[in-house]
């Protein structure tokens, strides 16, 4: 049986469906690669900077905590591209998922668990925020393979 060209198969697929498929593939890739998990239960630093506090101070507090937890869990510093998944469970008011994701990614960079927040250093960033009885933050990291083309 002849195979259909990929372009024809993708004609009826929406952008949202493609994004969802990409996210699912990246999550599955993360499960298959070396994976590191940090779970931070309350009490933890605020996920939203307080009114009299700047965001750099909140990032630094999170970075110090994540550095300590990573050392305790024997998670190595990043030496290449990593995928990141962040799950935030909250018991109080709902935090802004995008702001929390940025704050925690900046803290991961400051802690040395990510090299940077640019696409060449981080992939598959996903932040999930959901209500729960107890507040917690779960961060999963996995190393991305380095593509090294062989030139002939």
Task: Give the pLDDT band (50/70/90) at residue 106.
Answer: very high
pLDDT at 80: 86
Order of strands across the sheet with 82-90? 35-41, 136-143, 82-90, 122-131
Mean local confidence (pLDDT), 134-152: 73
Question: Residue 138 forms beta bridges with which residues?
Answer: 39, 87
* pTM as predicted: 0.71
Sign (positive/negative) of CA torsion 116, 119, 123, 128?
A: positive
13-71 pLDDT, tens digit per residue, is 888 888 788 777 766 665 556 689 999 988 888 777 666 566 678 899 999 999 999 99
Q: Is the pLDDT of residue 93 over 90?
A: no
**CB 139, CB 105: distance < 8 Å:** no
The string of DSSP letters for 47-93 reads: SS--TTS-HHHHHHHHHHHHHHHHHHTTPPPP-S-EEEEEEEEESSS
Topology annotation, domain 36-143: 60s Ribosomal Protein L30; Chain: A; (3.30.1330)
């Amino acid at each position: 049986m002849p195979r259909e060209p990929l372009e024809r198969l993708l004609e009826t697929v929406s952008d949202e469906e493609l994004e969802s498929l990409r996210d699912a593939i990246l999550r599955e890739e993360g499960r298959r690669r070396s994976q590191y998990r940090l779970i931070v239960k309350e009490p933890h630093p605020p996920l939203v900077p307080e009114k009299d506090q700047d965001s750099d101070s909140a990032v630094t507090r999170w970075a110090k905590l994540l550095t300590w937890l990573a050392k305790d869990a024997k998670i190595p510093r990043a030496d290449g591209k990593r995928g990141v998944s962040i799950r935030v469970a909250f018991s109080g008011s709902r935090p802004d998922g995008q702001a929390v994701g940025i704050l925690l990614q900046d803290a991961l960079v400051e802690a040395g668990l990510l090299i940077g927040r640019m696409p060449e250093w981080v992939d598959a960033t996903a932040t999930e925020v959901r209500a729960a009885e107890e507040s917690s933050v779960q961060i999963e990291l996995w190393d991305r393979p380095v593509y090294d083309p062989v030139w002939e």
